[in-house]
Amino acid sequence: MNVFLDLINGGWEALMEYLSFHVLTCLIPALFIAGAIAVFLSQAAVLKYLGPKAKKITAYAMASVSGTVLAVCSCTVLPLFGSIYKRGAGIGPATAFLYSAPAINVLAIVYSAQILGYDLGIARAIGAVLFSIVVGLMMAFIFRKEEKNKNENAFAALPDNPEGKKPWQQLVFFAVMIGILVFIASKQWIIGGVLLVTLAVILWRWFSMAEIKEWMKETAFFVRRIIPWLLVGVFIAGILKVAIPESVITNVVGGNGLLANFVSSFLGSIMYFATLTEVPIVETFMDLGMGKGPALALLLAGPALSLPNMLVIRSIMGTKKTLTYVVLVVIMATITGYIFGLISA
């Protein structure tokens, strides 16, 4: 009975800590930015570089970074992956997108950096982008013989940006919001306040009431979708912290051995994480002695793969390609973690 109470208590303490001020100040602005990205940024502008006629180099480059703009939610990642694979730039850019997208959306970057430290947060983003290109190129090379079978419908049917703001207006709008995020997170209240007023003026001058409503609706959607699962994740992380003896973690994924990196990326590829919950779980493991390298390996392989999403990917590109992809992701995450462990040691 006592053990049970200890576990619940561990979960509860973790929960309270997460509801603290510094977490909220970073997460709330990030949620607003995610909402704004979904509503105001023209997805068509990005997607046209992933169509069947796109140049290969551009396609890889865009695929590896476009998750920032396109993919905050699983509604977009898998259908987009399928479209890029079947009708767009092909298997290479498609898998590059699939690998990097969950790691580089604005919420994941901000949240990882805030909770796990800036080095790990930045390493996660850079590692995801660089190694997604490697994964994509290798997939394209391995399966170079079977390509083609494309129609251009989906990408031809992209709407032009109908209610779009001018590019410089979008730039200013997002720059101001990122500024608010950065300065409030670092407790520079005065600059943060000035930027908030600026944002209010921007909204008043450039945006219609309907657009602002749409933005709030989208933000509320993210809040409802992400926060409850995140709290569940935090609670479980707190329980794990009490339940798993430190020696187990130190032995298996402590330090920065290749084996530790491999174990952590392999486990990550099987486990399912709801959006962002990989972060508190990794934090717990690190508290218990997980090395920085294996932590990064888990952050990379975790959200990119899980048993359920392997099944979906398999239905899109078949068993052979899916297995190859899984193996590549595990290897790449292992290597990335290992390199990062060496650098940060």
Partner 1 sequence: MDIKVLGPGCAKCHKLNEATVEAVKELGGDITVEYIQDITKILEYPVLTTPALVINEKIVSIGKALRKEEVIKLIEENADNQGDSI
How far apart CA 29 and CA 184 sit, in angstroms, is 9
Give the binding site for partner 1 (CB under 8 A). Answer: 43, 47, 70, 73-76, 78-80, 82-83, 86-87, 153-158, 221, 225, 312, 315-316
Of the candidates 33, 31, 12, which has an alpha carbon nearest to the alpha carbon of residue 23?
A: 31
| Burial class (CB within 10 angstroms; exposed 0-12, middle 13-18, buried 19+) of 101 | buried
In the chain, what is the straight-line distance between the N-terminal and C-terminal CA atoms, in Å?
41
Q: How far is the CB of 315 from partner 1 (least distance, A)?
A: 5
Nearer to partner 1, 84 or 290 (CB): 84
Q: How far is the CB of 230 from partner 1 (least distance, A)?
A: 15
Q: How far is the CB of 39 from partner 1 (least distance, A)?
A: 10
- CB environment 129-157: b (16+ within 10 A), e (fewer): bebbbbbbbbbbeebeeeeeebeeebbee
Nearer to partner 1, 76 or 169 (CB): 76
Q: Which pair of tokens denotes residue 213?
A: 């409503």
Nearer to partner 1, 58 or 74 (CB): 74
Nearer to partner 1, 72 or 109 (CB): 72
Q: How far is the CB of 44 from partner 1 (least distance, A)?
A: 9
How far apart CA 167 and CA 244 sit, in angstroms, is 51
Q: How far is the CB of 16 from partner 1 (least distance, A)?
A: 27
Strands (E), the chain: none
